[in-house]
A and B are shown apart, each in its own frame.
Chain A
């Protein structure tokens, strides 16, 4: 703005004022630079809207034919053009829940160690290594999943669970044979390893923002270190920790390769976690190139739309929660 003012002020003392001012503005380049960068920033907006638009338009056939029933139908039959998303939504949710059941306690307790106990240098170097873990490509996790986790579940973890928890009345039906090694549990384990770095790094950041006097007050009242952490620090940061869990969940829902390689690719809704299943991302990865016919492709794209909406909502929630804690502390 100030540049524009100077050009206008200077204009009268020079001949051909209008042209001069224009050249000057060009030379200063402020307006142009503003416009160019604005265009690219707006391009991101455009690209994201195009993404939603393409998903919406290209899933038209399937949406028109199945409507809301798409979400409840259990059959997935490309031969007869009968498509229902229920087994995939079920598989996506179950694998993500299993992964959180494993990753949340592990990640939270590691974050507590890094934020509350470990000396700063050790904490920083461990966090560094955990960031590296987050950078490992998902196809590598899938590779290790196939050759390490699947045999482990087939020979050790699976039989162990069937023989112990399998006999417990309420949760027994979660652990029933057959146990092939591939399935919800295996996918959940691999996913847990993949999302744990996210829970740790975000939770650690949030825990570090808890004011020091909160801890000191608890310790001064005679609380042990653990009591001050668990009853004062963690509740203070709980909103942000919830945010980190939502972020992890969003990532687990959308994760494709590692899950595709160990889930077993069987579109069924079964109670047993040891049974093979299927997820939204996995079915898109497996069947997209083989989709013959427009309806088939359109149904797969609608699955993509569903996945997009699920992660969209979770990411939004997570961001709000994390910002809320970092601004004013989780306490009302």
Chain B
């Protein structure tokens, strides 16, 4: 083997390996870029009014997004009420009762549902809830978000139930507990930490969803009483304010973006750290 070729192979090796490292760090740096940029732009426009005041009419500066914050919380509550129970019980079915073929079908459908573009989920919630009553409502937004919560919860619940050691199950069975009793009093409590974390992650994911809310919960510049009225939400506000031509609105969009990003990232950070550390807690 001649020296020139060896040299070429070695330098190719060095260059390509360096490039892989550079790409990895470039991608990670995007996260810090996003965070830094939002902190810089959003931090300066964030103030107490943002959390307590209603949006001001066009042309007046100031005001806040209190209604959008409450709106987002209401939508998440609805999504949790509708999506989490379905996800939990279907997950229990897949992990504990599922027959081979039917469980496969359910698992496949769940993955499919998880991959449906959120805007299509929005159309579905629109035709299901908005079309019959002919007006937008918080309820419709909750249905859309709840539907997105289901597949994530199903898969995480199933995974955590399966990670409960078999010895626990056998111990309960040996003491004479029925299958259901074993699940309810031994397996579910053992996996509860993981399952709850998975649920929180699912909610964190839909908290930032905008597309399915555009024509279900719509938006609202005022307080939205009850569940049957259109309601503002943080993501939709960010969208409307970002594409509007007013500087003051842009500032508010940055502030709202910062609040949303911090909420979502902190929830993710907490959950993922708890999960990676919770190996021992889970197997109690």
A: residues with CB less than 8 A from B are: 3, 28-30, 32-34, 36-45, 47-48, 50-51, 54-55, 58, 105-107, 109-110, 112-114, 116-118, 126, 128-133, 135-140, 142-144, 146-148, 193, 196-197, 200, 224-227, 230, 250, 253-257, 261, 281, 284-285, 288-289, 300-301, 304, 307-308, 311-312, 315-316, 319
Q: Are A136 and B34 in contact (CB under 8 A)?
A: yes
Complex Cα–Cα for A308 and B120 (A):
7
Stretch at the interface among B50-58, B109-117, B221-229: B109-117
Query: Which B residues lie within 8 Å of A133 (CB)?
Result: 27-28, 30-31, 34
Complex Cα–Cα for A147 and B244 (A):
12
Q: Are A142 and B239 in contact (CB under 8 A)?
A: yes
* 4 nearest A-B residue pairs (beta carbon): A137-B208, A254-B117, A37-B93, A113-B20
Closest-CB distance, B122 to chain A (whole angstroms): 8
14 additional A-B residue pairs with CB within 8 Å, beyond A44-B106, A257-B211:
A34-B97, A40-B85, A44-B113, A117-B21, A126-B25, A137-B261, A139-B260, A140-B208, A254-B120, A255-B117, A307-B117, A308-B117, A315-B111, A316-B112
Q: Are A40 and B89 in contact (CB under 8 A)?
A: yes
Against A, the Cβ 8 Å flags (1 = close, 0 = not) of B91-119 are 01110111000100110111111011111
Query: Which A residues lie within 8 Å of B126 (CB)?
Result: 288
Q: Are B238 and A41 in contact (CB under 8 A)?
A: no
Complex Cα–Cα for A284 and B261 (A):
25
Q: Are A37 and B90 in contact (CB under 8 A)?
A: yes
Most buried by B among A110, A112, A250: A110
Closest-CB distance, B154 to chain A (whole angstroms): 7
What are 6 A-B contacts defined by CB distance under 8 Å?
A: A29-B180, A33-B179, A140-B38, A256-B117, A256-B210, A281-B119
Query: Which B residues lie within 8 Å of A144 (CB)?
Result: 34, 37-38
B: residues with CB less than 8 A from A are: 9-10, 12-13, 16-17, 19-21, 23-28, 30-31, 34, 37-38, 41, 85-86, 89-90, 92-94, 96-98, 102, 105-106, 108-113, 115-124, 126-128, 147, 150-151, 154, 178-181, 183-184, 204-205, 207-211, 214-215, 218, 235, 238-239, 242-243, 250, 253-254, 257, 260-261, 264-265, 268-269, 272, 276
Closest-CB distance, A311 to chain B (whole angstroms): 6
Cβ-closest chain A residue relative to B267: A135
Q: Are B123 and A304 in contact (CB under 8 A)?
A: yes
Query: Which B residues lie within 8 Å of A40 (CB)?
Result: 85-86, 89-90, 93
Query: Which B residues lie within 8 Å of A143 (CB)?
Result: 238, 242, 253-254, 257
Complex Cα–Cα for A106 and B20 (A):
8
Query: Which B residues lie within 8 Å of A112 (CB)?
Result: 20
If A137-B209, A285-B119 touch, whether A146 touches B243 (CB-CB below 8 Å) is: yes
Query: Which B residues lie within 8 Å of A39 (CB)?
Result: 89
Q: Are A226 and B12 in contact (CB under 8 A)?
A: yes
Q: Are B34 and A140 in contact (CB under 8 A)?
A: yes
Complex Cα–Cα for A143 and B252 (A):
12
Q: Are B112 and A312 in contact (CB under 8 A)?
A: yes
